[in-house]
Amino acid sequence: MPPPRHGYQKPTNPVKALARVFSYMKGSTWRLLIVVCCLLVSSSAGIIGTYMLKPLINDHIVPAIGQNNPDLSAFLQALVFLGCVYLAGAVATYCTNRLMVTVSNSTLNAIRRDLFNHMQDLPISYFDTHTHGELMSRYTNDVDVVREMISGGLTNVITSSVSVVGTFTMMLILSPWLTLLVIAMLFVIFFVIKTIGGRSARAFKRQQAAVGAVNGYIEEMIEGQKVVKVFCHEPAVKEDFNKLNEEMRQAATMANTNANILMPIMGNLSYFNYAITAAVGAIMTINGMLDIGSIASFLQYTRSFFQPITQISQQFNNIFAALAGAERIFALIDSPPEEDDGYVTLVYAEKDADGNLIESDKRTGIWAWKHPHHDGTLTYTEVRGDVRFENMTFGYVPNKTVLHDLSLYAKPGQKIAFVGSTGAGKTTITNLLTRFYELNSGKIRYDGINIEKIKKDDLRRSMAMVLQDTHLFTGTVMENIRYGNLEASDEQVIAAAKLANAHNFIMHLPQGYDTVLTSDGANLSQGQRQLLAIARAAVADPPVLILDEATSSIDTRTESLISRGMDQLMAGRTVFVIAHRLSTVRNANAIMVLENGRIIERGDHDDLIAKGGKYYQLYTGMLELD
């Protein structure tokens, strides 16, 4: 018996989890019916084949003893029949395995689809409270154990159960007295399984914890290799790893020792039971209480009786582990999706002869808010980028307010900058504008419309963001820039790259715009990756632009090269800038200095310098941003 790979994890509601898994198999109902029939055939073939020993011996072999020329035709016919029985069992087993491969892959395809699709609908707050590794384990570890349960675990349990019941029934028919002897040994085997199996389960839990600790430490050290070398911590790192590695060795040794001794013990007990049964059966045969064919069949049943019991015990552990994994998968699928009560949508628009906005089915360069009213009428408001925050209060968690009654506005085309130390609430303001989080109180109006009335997808489509942590997807440079507007032509993508001053370095890449980026653009410098992110925002051509530390990873020379492109990008747009580098916000129409979620100073660069307050101290270097 192989050791349990996943420990003895127990689901909270195994019946519900199993029913949920079966609900994904509705499209494979006819396959499952065939599988059940094949399982009955394959299990019955083994039981019937063993019982056939009795007539073969009693009716054909024993009568032929002592004859010079026995007639073996009937014996050969019986052998052919026995061969057909086993052939039918082999074919049924093949069909079962083949069909279950199809069923398991179809089922897991549907589960992964629902898992991934629902993950796209989850709010940002969900990802704040669940690590990437935790989410990835749903697609890897949990899906793998469910696959094992569907493709092998359930069928093995059914096959083994049928074999146990059928074998026990045939043993009772052949000899009730010998069956009592087997039952007595069965209690001994159950005691051994419970004792050693429980000890093995606890050991495997410790091993799993040790493996997790070692893997986590290795991953952490790989990511922080530069820091380790800079501070010459190699000896300390080696020592810590050796301790964790030794703990894993001890846990793995104990776990595998307990798991590996179970099979030999079971085997020896089985041999012991076989020997006792053979001896008692021989005595009964000598005394005329049992015929030779019956004892031969019974002994064969004895050999095959304990194996399926062991398999059922093992498979139940694996099935429980799989159902625990399924519960974790379904917990993610059942997580509340991001709520969206908005009904105002973003549409392409054009002006008729009278200058009125009308909806268009093509990109016109003019966007409008399509606002349905309760009386059935529709109004169209041109998207201009007028954004107003009114008495805004917010906290990510209860009783911990991040923004306190904050009010500000940005007129169309204005550049508003937020400066302040880490935790002052700068990024929170943009998170609320994009509705990644919902206000506790107050309002945000976009072109006079409360953003709670605007559908979230349409609200976000009217904005483009360039974040400090640039993320590039696997694909070509052209595809990564086009991510900002999937309808953009190659010419528009190239124009956006030129606008962000990214065109020059792109043309020096091996395949230019067709260069494939992998591993989040690891073959590019941080500055180049940032330029691509700016180009991606440029091709979106939105009325509102959010730059969250967008130039923080670009050196001074590169910054000066893209400054004109950035000015062109920001021209005519409402821009919100979060910056540590204060030189990037000098030309802002208004600068908001935040501290502890409150605006303590506001004005343009010259006004704030003249005041000689916090901004003046930051700008002149008397204070530093955290």
pLDDT for 405-420, tens place per residue?
Answer: 899 989 988 889 898 8
**pLDDT attached to residue 4:** 43
Instruction: Please say if the pLDDT value at position 444 is more than 90.
Output: yes
Q: What is the pTM of this model?
A: 0.74
Q: Per-residue pLDDT averaged across 506-535, rounded?
A: 84
Reported CATH class of domain 387-619: alpha beta
- CB of 266 closer than 8 Å to CB of 310: yes
Instruction: Say what the pLDDT of residue 584 is.
Output: 72
pLDDT at 2: 39
The answer to whether the beta carbons of residues 367 and 345 sit under 8 Å apart is: no
Distance, in Å, from the CA atom of 390 to the CA atom of 444, rounded to the nearest integer, reads 6
Q: Is residue 15's pLDDT more than 80?
A: yes
Span 377-398, average pLDDT? 89
Segment among 147-156, 157-166, 204-213, 400-409 with least mean pLDDT: 204-213
- For the chain, how many helices (H) and strands (E)? 22, 16
- Of the candidates 315, 313, 277, the residue with the CA atom closest to the CA atom of residue 296: 277
433, with CB counted inside 10 A (0-12, 13-18, 19+), is: buried
Higher pLDDT, 310 or 619: 619
Question: For residues 510 and 573, is the Cβ–Cβ distance under 8 A?
Answer: no
Q: Are 103 and 32 in contact (CB under 8 A)?
A: yes
For 108-122, letters b (16+ CB in 10 Å) and e give: beebeeebeeebeeb
| Rounded mean pLDDT, 9-23 | 81
In the chain, what are the domain boundaries?
A: 14-333, 345-382, 387-619
Q: What is the pLDDT of residue 450?
A: 93
pLDDT in tens, 84-133: 988 998 999 899 888 888 888 888 898 999 999 998 888 888 887 777 76
User: Quick one: which of 446, 421, 413 has its CA closest to 432?
Assistant: 446
pLDDT tens digits, 197-233: 677 767 777 777 787 778 778 877 887 777 777 777 7
Which tokens hold the place of 432?
């609320």
List Cβ neighbours of 437 (8 Å cut-off, separation of 6 or more).
Answer: 123, 124, 125, 394, 396, 428, 431
Among the listed ranges 115-119, 135-139, 198-202, 363-367, which one has the minimum average pLDDT value? 198-202
Q: What angle do CA 94, 99, 100 make, to 5 degrees?
A: 100
Q: Considering only 245-249, 296-300, 581-585, which range has the smallest mean pLDDT?
A: 581-585
Instruction: Output the six-digit token pair for 114.
Output: 């629902």
- Confidence check: pLDDT of 250 > 80: yes
Mean pLDDT over residues 147-156, rounded?
Answer: 82
Mean per-residue pLDDT, 372-382: 88
Greater model confidence, 521 or 380? 380
The pLDDT mean for the chain works out to 83
Tell me whether strands 574-578 and 475-476 are parallel, antiparallel or unpaired. Answer: unpaired
* Confidence at residue 555, expressed as pLDDT on a 0 to 100 scale: 63
Residue 178's alpha-carbon distances to 281, 315, 569, in angstroms, are 7, 28, 90
Give the integer Cα–Cα distance in Å for 485 and 385.
Answer: 19
**Local confidence band at 343 (pLDDT 50, 70, 90 cut-offs):** very high
- Return the pLDDT at 151: 81
The third-level CATH classification (topology) of the domain covering 14-333 is: ABC transporter transmembrane region fold (1.20.1560)
Residue 622: pLDDT band with limits 50, 70, 90: low
Is residue 339 over pLDDT 70? Answer: yes
